[in-house]
């Protein structure tokens, strides 16, 4: 591109359920245009999409009802960057272990994810994790979190906890078992924006 400032990207947050507000705040703090996505026309405006933490079964059902499941699959298959946190990681996974009966995912990320892998709610925990690409550890909050049980050759493991991958990247897809949207550390969202803007 010759001359002129680069337009700030538009990043959508799937806003059917979950901690949408925290992701919007993290994105706005980084200077991008952050919008909620509840319908296909909103998704069309997006250069990238965030799939928040929450309840993956509910989000998948609502995405189907709101007519967003197939548009999300198509955009991601065509290379739109996406960032899934916790339930969002499950939504991005091609395969789930311990999913609800008939639980659908958006898919795109060549991983098998185990739901509630660290135990039930009472087993939620926090940890400081080294994440590839960041100099200092990230304070990671895990809430009924999944882990990556198996992954394909194009998946890069960025961080592990309890011996399992909890942050992975494949091309423009980023997923974390934990919640970088909780707290004021915008560095993981910055990594995602780098994928959106590359």
Which positions are catalytic?
A: 86, 179, 181
CA–CA dist 166, 142 (Å, integer)? 10
Q: Of the listed pieces 31-39, 51-59, 63-71, 129-137, which binds ligand GLN according to CB under 6 A?
A: 51-59
Residue 144 or 169 having the CB closest to ligand GLN: 144
Residues 19-48 contacting ligand GLN, CB under 6 A: none
CA–CA dist 39, 45 (Å, integer)? 11
Residues 59-118 contacting ligand GLN, CB under 6 A: 86-87, 90, 115-116
Q: How is residue 66 annotated by DSSP?
A: T
Minimum distance from residue 2 beta carbon to ligand GLN (Å): 43
Minimum distance from residue 45 beta carbon to ligand GLN (Å): 25
Q: Does residue 144 interact with ligand GLN by CB under 6 A?
A: yes
CA–CA dist 147, 189 (Å, integer)? 19
37 bridge partner residues? 14
Residues 151-190 contacting ligand GLN, CB under 6 A: none
In this structure, what token pair is assigned to residue 124? 């939620």
Residue 115 or 189 having the CB closest to ligand GLN: 115
User: Angle, to 10 degrees, between the axis of helix 20-29 and the axis of helix 187-197?
Assistant: 70
Q: How many Cβ atoms from other residues are within 10 Å of residue 46's Cβ?
A: 23
Minimum distance from residue 83 beta carbon to ligand GLN (Å): 13
Q: Does residue 191 interact with ligand GLN by CB under 6 A?
A: no
Residue 9 or 53 having the CB closest to ligand GLN: 53
Q: Does residue 53 interact with ligand GLN by CB under 6 A?
A: yes
In this structure, what token pair is assigned to residue 12? 């959508």
Q: Which helix (H) or strand (E) holds 7?
A: none
> 36: exposed, middle or buried (C-beta count within 10 Å: 0-12, 13-18, 19+)?
middle
Q: How is residue 100 annotated by DSSP?
A: P
Minimum distance from residue 60 beta carbon to ligand GLN (Å): 9
Residue 9 or 176 having the CB closest to ligand GLN: 176
Q: Calculate ∠ Cα 151-37-104, nearest 5°.
A: 40
Size, binding site for ligand GLN by CB under 6 A? 11
Q: Which residues bind ligand GLN (CB under 6 A)?
A: 53-56, 86-87, 90, 115-116, 143-144
């Amino acid at each position: 591109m010759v001359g002129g400032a680069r337009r700030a990207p538009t990043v959508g947050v799937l806003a059917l359920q979950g901690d949408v507000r925290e992701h919007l705040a993290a994105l706005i703090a980084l200077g991008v245009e952050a919008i909620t996505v509840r319908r296909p026309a909103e998704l069309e405006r997006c250069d990238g999409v965030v799939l928040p933490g929450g309840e993956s079964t509910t989000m998948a059902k609502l995405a189907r009802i709101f007519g967003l499941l197939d548009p999300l699959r198509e955009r991601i298959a065509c290379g739109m960057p996406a960032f899934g946190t916790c339930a969002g990681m499950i939504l991005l996974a091609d395969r789930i272990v311990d999913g609800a009966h008939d639980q659908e995912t958006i898919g795109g990320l060549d991983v098998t994810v185990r739901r509630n892998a660290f135990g039930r709610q009472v087993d939620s925990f926090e940890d400081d994790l080294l994440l590839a690409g960041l100099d200092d550890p990230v304070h990671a909050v895990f809430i009924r979190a999944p882990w990556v049980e198996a992954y394909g050759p194009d998946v890069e493991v960025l961080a592990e906890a309890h011996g399992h991958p909890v942050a992975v990247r494949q091309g423009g897809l980023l997923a974390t078992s934990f919640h970088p949207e909780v707290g004021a550390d915008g560095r993981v969202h910055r990594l995602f924006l780098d994928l959106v803007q590359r």
